[in-house]
Amino acid sequence: MRFTIEKGMALFMLTLIFTLPFYSADVLAVSVRVTHNSGQANIDSFLDAESDTWTVDVDVLDSPDENIDPNSVRVKIGNNEESFNACQQTDTGHSCTYINPLTTGIEEREYPFEVLYRFLNAFGVAQEVSAADTINADGSGPTVRVSRAIQSGVDGLQLQFTATDKIQGKPSVGLQRIEIIDAATNTILYTIPEEEINLDPFVFNEQIPFISTGEGTRHLKIQAVDKLGHVTRNPPVVAVRTDFVAPEFQTQSLNFTALGDYIGTGEVPTDILLDVLETSDLREVVASSNQAELDNEPQTECLEDTEQVGLWHCRWENINVGPGPVIDIEFTAVDEFGNTVTTVLSKSFIEDSFAPEIVSFGTLRQFEGGSNVRPGENTFVLKVREQGIGMDKNGVRLNLAALGGGDGHAPPTYCEQQETFNCYWDIDVATARDNALVNLAVLEDRVGNEGELRELDVAVDQQAPSINTIEFFGVSVVGDNDFFQSGDQLKIKLNVTEKHGLTVLLDARSLIMDARIKYPAHALDRNLPPDEGWVVFTEEQCEQIDQDWICSLVTDPIRSGYLPAVPFVLRVQDTAGNIVERWEAEPKHIKNGNAGSYAIEILAVDGQENPDHWQLSRDYPQAQLDFIDLDTVSLIPTRMPLTLKLETDTPQASVVRMDLGSCSPEVDVQAPPLQRALLYGGASADGETSPKATLVLEFEPFNPTEVFAIPADVEFQSIDVSYQCQLRLFSKIGTGALEQAEFQLINVTVPFAFSTIGALDESLGKKVKDIQKSWLVEWAERTATVEKVLDWIKYVSNVLQIILSLYTIWDLTSDTLVVDATAAKKIPVTTAVGAAMNGQCLLLQTGQQPGFKFAEYAQVPLQLLNCDPSLIESGAGSDILGWYGKWQRFVLDSYNIASGRGVLGVPADSLYENIYTSTFGICLPGVIYNLKKAREIHCRRVICYGREVPLGIATTQSCDQLNSLLMCEYFYGPLVDLTPLGGLKQLSSILRAAFTSPVGLFITVGQFAACLPLCLAEVPPAPAGALTSCKIATGFGHGFDIIESIISSVNQRPDLTGTPYCDAAEKIDFDNLASVEQPDVPEAEA
């Protein structure tokens, strides 16, 4: 039996070994191969994760089945299988197709899968073959990051960006193209195709062709597209400043600074100016001309205008030009982008062949046609007549070497153009010779025409005159007297030895009334006293005998009244300016004095016909306005008030009556017509020893353009017009009145001008625009929207405050007050009294902690908006506002200490107090609130300009003064509140408010009386009934506050209050001020 089993097993193994090759061949011959795996884009192994149709094609080779059932070919992903859709025979076997519409999309990731083919082999045994592959789902668009985008030249853009389709953890199909698009029009400007994209990430840093027109900012959108058609989501848009416009020459601005409209007969050095319009930077401007020293000469400088953006002022310095009636120059300008323009500009000139002609040449000190100088400082004057282009100081030089006071080419100290061209040299003469030759070294006009040079023989006078005799007389109707009476003329007889001319100076300020007005400062000789009031006599009032001058000099009538010693100064000098220093001759008929300083006695005359006791005080009359505003003179009669002040040296003199005679403009002066003249004050029945009066000149409405003949093309600013008024003065000396009136002439200068800013364009509108451009108004306007939002938030918060106040009244009825005895001991008496007046004793004696969660949450926004940093404890006992609240409390406490308000018991409880506490306390609502006040004040000034000035109610000056007053009171002035004055001011305000409101006074007095015992209690318990009475009084106070708050909330909604001044100012039409009716304007809050 054993043998049989072993044989059988052996036979089985032999059979198995024999059949195994046939079986294996049968199995190994069947195979599956994936030939296609993609979506609709036919990109191998990739699907569009958003929506696609997945197609898988396989070839089944050597299948034992003649026709393969599609159900026997399956796709397996994970644990899921699906049958193929169809199979068909092919030349090599069978082909099967799997189609899956994924219309709803799938998750972005990699999906490994298998294709399984199940069949029965030749022995009827079930067999399975498979093929593995992967399908990737990509649903994201590429990303683009732009690093740089600028214009490069006139036909390109330099772009630098990085594009990638790779996202970490997700399949990437790769970039297909990159598009540069005009964001404004969605036009594709440039495409980078797939064949140029060699890497992912793809870095691009090249210039692309870009041709456009115009200038400005172009917005470019750069997006990438992957091979599945996914586009960059939110592609970056980059702003590129482009300029394809060439610079533009301002042809009318071409200017040859030294030439003007004229050109001479030779070359002339000049600067050349030309304006260029270019919004970007100018790279270079070059000039070339065969009529000037210009050969592609770059500009010396090109500076942008300080006001007009894009206007460049270019200059070429010291270029030799001409001659010729027309100068042609080729200019080429290149901007920073390479835009280039070339043009030829021509400048036509009037040929000037006229040479300068000397009118006069000499020193200021002339005698008998000769020029005199003395050692020391002297002045030379050259006057030239020029018919052509004109002259400047560069065309005049003087050879002063002979005087030892200059080199051979001394430039003038200064020059001025009047009827002639006048140049002055201030020279320090150092020579000891009696004569010197001074000649002109250079004399030419601005185009190089040379005038005739001239020599000047100068007499150098080094010796002062000598006085031989000097006598003084009083000249009256009876002749010369050796005494002096009121109204006499002073005669001075001199015998002086001097070989040249003579000048005698008399200081008449004490001798002759109104000498400062009658004898203005002498402009002819700079060595004369600079002050007015000196009478100047020359050798013309003298007779010369050999080298002696016999002079008889007579003054105007001297002053009136008895004066025991009237001082005066006499100065004698020669033409060259040498002053007599040694007075050897004794003066005759003089009371006292010598060597040029004297005094005389003036005797009074009874019944003097022309009394002369008074004169106008120095610096009078004084205008009370800076000027009459020419913006208003055509609308209403305008006035100029002036202050007059008179003075006298006559003892016991006083004015008992002062009348105004007539006022009229000076002869041959174009002046606005006077409507009337008024005089106020200046005299009284008892007499005024220092009379002071107000003179008012009122002018008829007039057209300033016609009256002052203002040219349309000239910038007119101001003009002074002189008027002369006559006063009639009745005086008394002691107890006796003078029978005759004294007449006093008053010279009045009235300035007419356009307002400070309106002077440039005669427009109040310009003044308003400049107000709107001020930093304070600009900041206030920028925060206006925020301020309105905050107003509404505060309004809602105030409604919540009413609810909290109701809760406070309810809380007063409870007995849960926690007494803080330690804090009460530290309360000063003044603080307690102040707190009692404010109804705050309960706050001083108790802690503040919200009674329920709503109150805690509500107080936080209330305190933040009101900038009230009072301590709010959270449930854990910590301050809800944290460091912010601590800082605000520190600022507020510091303010209360500095102002004294804490000591006085009227502390500030909010940083809203002023701009300074708001700023230092980082209280944004407070800063905005105070800026709003400043803006309203400036709008008040706009209303003053636009309404009150045209109606004659105010002037622009008074508008400015009102604005300064309001800004001081409400904006800058509160800086003073940091001193103890602030505390006193607040305490007085509280008292004033209390006594101006009967109800408020009753409640304040009630709270004070009811709560004072509680406030003064140092340790609990308080006096019997003090707590209850204080609760009741405080409750009434809170109730009154609630009623006031409700009324205020109804009447003062933000949409009802707004900004009344600024709202009214916006309605003013500054182009038609005279024709617009006056609107309703709110009263000034001040």
**Residue pLDDT, tens place only, 9-47:** 777 676 666 555 544 445 457 899 999 999 999 999 999
pLDDT tens figures, 395-441:
899 888 787 755 667 888 889 988 899 999 888 887 667 788 888 88
Q: Angle 980-996/998-1016 helices, nearest 10 degrees? A: 120
pLDDT tens figures, 611-629:
888 888 888 898 888 888 8
218 in Cβ contact with 238 (< 8 Å) = no
Half-sphere exposure of 662 (CA within 13 A, CB side): 3
Report if residue 20 sits inside a domain: no
* pLDDT of res. 141: 92
Q: Are residues 786 and 740 in the same domain?
A: no
Q: Are residues 377 and 397 in the same domain?
A: yes
Looking at 351, 377, 407, which one is the last position of a domain?
Answer: 351
Give dist(CA 784, CA 778) in Å, integer: 10
Q: At 835, is the secondary structure helix, strand, or coil?
A: helix
Q: For the chain, report the end-to-end CA distance as a whole number of angstroms.
A: 137
Report if residue 22 sits inside a domain: no
Find all residues with CB under 8 Å of 802, minimum gap 6, and list them: 1042, 1045, 1046, 1049
Q: Are residues 1038 and 901 in the same domain?
A: yes
If one counts every other C-beta atom within 10 angstroms of the C-beta of residue 698, the result is 14
Q: Are residues 412 and 510 in the same domain?
A: no
Average pLDDT rounded to a whole number, residues 1072-1077: 45
Nearest Cα residue to 946 out of 657, 647, 692, 632: 632
pLDDT at residue 115 tops 70: yes
* pLDDT of res. 860: 60
Cα→Cα distances 595→219, 501, 583, Å: 91, 21, 5
* pLDDT of res. 136: 95
pLDDT tens figures, 691-703:
989 999 999 888 8
Q: Are residues 182 and 211 in the same domain?
A: yes
Average pLDDT rounded to a whole number, residues 480-495: 88
pLDDT at residue 1022 tops 90: no
Q: What is the CATH number of the domain that holds 153?
A: 2.60.40.1930
Q: Are residues 114 and 194 in the same domain?
A: no
What residue spans of 233-275 are helical by DSSP H?
Answer: none
Mean pLDDT estimate for the chain: 79
pLDDT at residue 721 tops 60: yes
pLDDT at residue 70 tops 90: yes
pLDDT tens figures, 869-905:
665 544 444 456 677 777 877 887 887 777 776 666 6
Q: Name which residue leads in pLDDT, 1012 or 170.
A: 170
Q: Are residues 411 and 496 in the same domain?
A: no
* pLDDT of res. 142: 95
Give dist(CA 679, CA 694) in Å, integer: 6
Return the CA Rg of the chain: 52
Q: Of 289-298, 421-430, 543-552, 765-774, where does mean pLDDT reach its minimum? A: 765-774
Q: Are residues 112 and 172 in the same domain?
A: no
* pLDDT of res. 929: 78
What residue spans of 300-457 are helical by DSSP H?
Answer: none
pLDDT at residue 394 tops 50: yes
- Overall domain count for the chain: 7
Domain that holds residue 681: 615-754
* pLDDT of res. 81: 92
Q: Are residues 233 and 111 in the same domain?
A: no
CA dihedral 279, 285, 289, 295 (to 10 degrees): -170
pLDDT tens figures, 511-535:
988 888 888 876 545 456 657 888 9
Average pLDDT rounded to a whole number, residues 930-952: 76
Average pLDDT rounded to a whole number, residues 84-88: 94
Specify the amino acid at residue 1012. L
pLDDT at residue 818 tops 50: no
The percent of residues above 90 in pLDDT, for the chain, comes to 23
pLDDT tens figures, 776-796:
666 656 666 666 666 666 666
If one counts every other C-beta atom within 10 angstroms of the C-beta of residue 713, the result is 4
Report if residue 774 sits inside a domain: no
Q: What is the CATH number of the domain that holds 289?
A: 2.60.40.10
E strands, 49-182, where? 52-61, 73-77, 80-83, 86-90, 93-102, 110-120, 126-138, 143-151, 156-164, 175-182
* pLDDT of res. 526: 45
938 DSSP β-pair partners? none
Report if residue 17 sits inside a domain: no
Q: Are residues 220 and 299 in the same domain?
A: no
Q: What does the block give as tokens for 1050?
A: 């109804």
* pLDDT of res. 525: 52
Q: Are residues 629 and 695 in the same domain?
A: yes
Looking at 460, 487, 513, which one is the last position of a domain?
Answer: 460
Q: Are residues 795 and 695 in the same domain?
A: no
Report if residue 185 sits inside a domain: yes
pLDDT at residue 2 tops 70: no
Report if residue 8 sits inside a domain: no
Q: At 1002, is the secondary structure helix, strand, or coil?
A: helix
- Position 845 confidence tier, pLDDT thresholds 50, 70, 90: very low
- Position 3 confidence tier, pLDDT thresholds 50, 70, 90: low
Q: What is the CATH number of the domain that holds 452?
A: 2.60.40
90 DSSP β-pair partners? 93
pLDDT at residue 69 tops 70: yes
Give dist(CA 36, CA 31) in Å, integer: 16
Report if residue 1081 sits inside a domain: no
